[in-house]
């Protein structure tokens, strides 16, 4: 079948893409962090590159179906930008957290309570407030890159994968030691819950959502009204 003849993805297809996408977007960094902190064969460079690489892969795989948000903060940003309805955003959140908890459960089966090593947390030299500020800034950067690349139809979807993936990796390199560079409540909260670190969840909810909101405000200043490219980036095909 020619690609142009494929039917448009249904809501069920979009939610399935978000569930499976967030599963892997959670499983990879959780597993890499467990191996890193338990003295496995993962070094600090590989730790952050893994996040960027899986982001690139997921955007290539699922952008045409759901937009490949795999992150409640990204969905929230698109909602504030006016290119995603509240109902669809909430459905995306349900699918994303379902994928995140499935991934955390998989890690728990493999490593038991060591899953807490893969949960996002402030660095030992940093306060929760400093970690919160880091999450705000990092998510603002990632959301801004997502929206900026969506401004041009030529770089929407798969063509934005490299820009977003490299930004995710860069965030880990320069601010990972502060907060763990999560930028994603769907990735952070499930391992925290299973690892008994639920007291940290507020950082990784408030930070990314605030950062996404600031990025949308910046987008209104820089780009004005949303474009067709942003609508496609928000909802996929």
Per-residue pLDDT tens over the stretch 169-214: 999 999 999 999 999 999 999 999 999 999 999 999 999 999 999 9
**CATH architecture observed for domain 8-235:** Up-down Bundle (1.20)
- Give the whole-angstrom CA distance, residue 170 versus residue 71: 18
Split at pLDDT 50, 70, 90, the class of 232 is confident
pLDDT of 154 > 50? The answer is no
81-123 pLDDT per residue, tens: 999 999 999 999 999 999 999 999 999 999 999 999 999 999 9
Split at pLDDT 50, 70, 90, the class of 1 is very low
The answer to whether 229 and 151 are in contact (CB under 8 A) is: yes
For residue 199, give the 3-state DSSP assignment. Answer: helix
What residues have CB less than 8 Å from 75, skipping those under 6 apart?
A: 69, 84, 89, 92, 93, 96
pLDDT value of residue 99: 98
Angle at 55 between CA 189 and CA 233, to 5 degrees: 100
The model carries a pTM of 0.94
pLDDT value of residue 3: 53
Burial bucket for residue 102 (CB in 10 Å: 0-12, 13-18, 19+): middle
The answer to whether 15 and 92 are in contact (CB under 8 A) is: yes
Angle at 168 between CA 166 and CA 169, to 5 degrees: 65
**Residue of 167, 166, 170, 154 whose CA lies nearest to 233:** 154
pLDDT value of residue 231: 87
- Give the whole-angstrom CA distance, residue 129 versus residue 12: 38
């Amino acid at each position: 079948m020619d690609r142009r003849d494929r039917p448009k993805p249904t809501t069920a297809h979009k939610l399935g893409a978000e569930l499976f996408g967030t599963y892997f977007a959670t499983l990879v960094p959780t597993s890499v962090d467990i191996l890193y902190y338990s003295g496995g064969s993962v070094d600090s460079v590989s730790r952050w590159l893994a996040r960027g690489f899986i982001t690139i892969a997921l955007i290539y795989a699922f952008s045409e179906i759901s937009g490949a948000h795999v992150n409640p903060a990204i969905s929230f940003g698109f909602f504030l930008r006016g290119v995603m309805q509240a109902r669809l955003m909430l459905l995306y959140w349900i699918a994303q957290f379902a994928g995140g908890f499935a991934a955390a459960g998989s890690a728990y089966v493999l490593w038991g309570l060591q899953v807490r090593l893969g949960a996002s947390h402030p660095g030992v030299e940093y306060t929760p407030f400093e970690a919160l500020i880091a999450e705000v800034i990092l998510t603002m950067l990632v959301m801004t890159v997502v929206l900026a690349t969506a401004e041009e139809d030529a770089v929407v979807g798969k063509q934005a994968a490299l820009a977003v993936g490299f930004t995710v990796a860069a965030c880990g390199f320069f601010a990972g030691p502060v907060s763990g560079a999560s930028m994603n409540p769907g990735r952070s909260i499930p391992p925290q819950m299973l690892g008994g670190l639920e007291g940290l969840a507020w950082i990784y909810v408030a930070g990314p959502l605030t950062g996404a909101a600031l990025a949308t405000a910046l987008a209104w200043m820089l780009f004005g009204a949303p474009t067709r490219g942003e609508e496609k980036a928000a909802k996929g095909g």
